[in-house]
Amino acid sequence: MTENYYKWHSPQLGREFEMLVFGDEGYPLILFPTSMGRHYESKDRGLIDAVSWFVDQQLIRIYCPDSIDSHSWYNRRISPAERAFNHNRYDKMLLHEVLERAVEESGIRRVAVAGCSFGGYHAANFAFRYPEKVSYLFSMSGTFDIRSRLDGYYDDNVYYHNPVDYMPENRDAALWRMGIILGTAERDVTRGHNEHFSGILAAKNISHWLDVRPNATHDWPIWKEMLPHYLSLIK
């Protein structure tokens, strides 16, 4: 499996940014790390090995960007307004620096996104904000409400990065063309979040699969089962 490391100065973030890319060809997948995770987390935790067949067969090329959670949603040393503002900068970086690279390298205009735990939030938020640019969303044990990280603060940056708030009014036609999987587990702490968000999608008649895995919990073993299954569904 080809592995390439990239580091560049991000104009959107105003600092250095790092990313790993696995594979030379195939459908582009942006795979987000868990809370405060780094670009190498999915490799170190065995998630890349779990989907190596798809990469080796040149079906999937995986882009693993850093998170900046420690500078945004998880940074209690700065104000909630700054947390939301910093995440908005991250979102712009993903759109203009990561996604545009994936599109240019693959020639495919709509990418897939995925993530585990807080990475599921990142994947879902990005997909639902830019459905015309995302064809598949695979959220594994994700959550969809960011307000618990903000000490009661609320502004437009919070609203537009909080899927439970903006999705009921989101009428982008591309949402109804997206392949959406909300993966969770029977004993997962995020199960209720996924069931609630599934209800929001169902109320809008947006086709999706709420995948509740039995006899499992919120951890890497079930995510390493989920992601290969989900990638096999890409057409």
Q: What is the pLDDT of residue 160?
A: 98
Distance CA 199, CA 195 (A): 6
> What is the average pLDDT across 150-166?
97
> What is the average pLDDT across 126-148?
98
* CA-based nearest residue to 79, from 149, 159, 166: 149
> What digits encode the pLDDT tens for the residues 167-188?
999 999 999 999 999 999 999 9
Structure tokens, 190: 């995020």
> What mean pLDDT, rounded, does the chain reach?
98
Distance CA 74, CA 83 (A): 8
* CA-based nearest residue to 180, from 102, 113, 225: 113
DSSP 8-class letter at 66: P
Q: How confident is the model at residue 107 (pLDDT cuts 50, 70, 90)?
A: very high
Q: What is the pLDDT of residue 6?
A: 98
Distance CA 135, CA 109 (A): 9
Q: What's the length of the chain?
A: 235
Q: What is the pLDDT of residue 66?
A: 98
> What is the average pLDDT across 211-226?
98
Q: How confident is the model at residue 158 (pLDDT cuts 50, 70, 90)?
A: very high
Distance CA 27, CA 13 (A): 27
State the pTM of this model: 0.98
> What is the average pLDDT across 118-133?
98
- Beta-ladder partners of 17: 8
> What digits encode the pLDDT tens for the residues 38-69?
999 999 999 999 999 999 999 999 999 999 99
Contacts of 209 (CB under 8 A, 6+ apart): 180, 181, 182
Distance CA 131, CA 111 (A): 10
Q: How confident is the model at residue 95 (pLDDT cuts 50, 70, 90)?
A: very high
Which phi and psi (to 5°) does residue 232 adopt?
-65, -15
Q: What is the pLDDT of residue 89?
A: 98
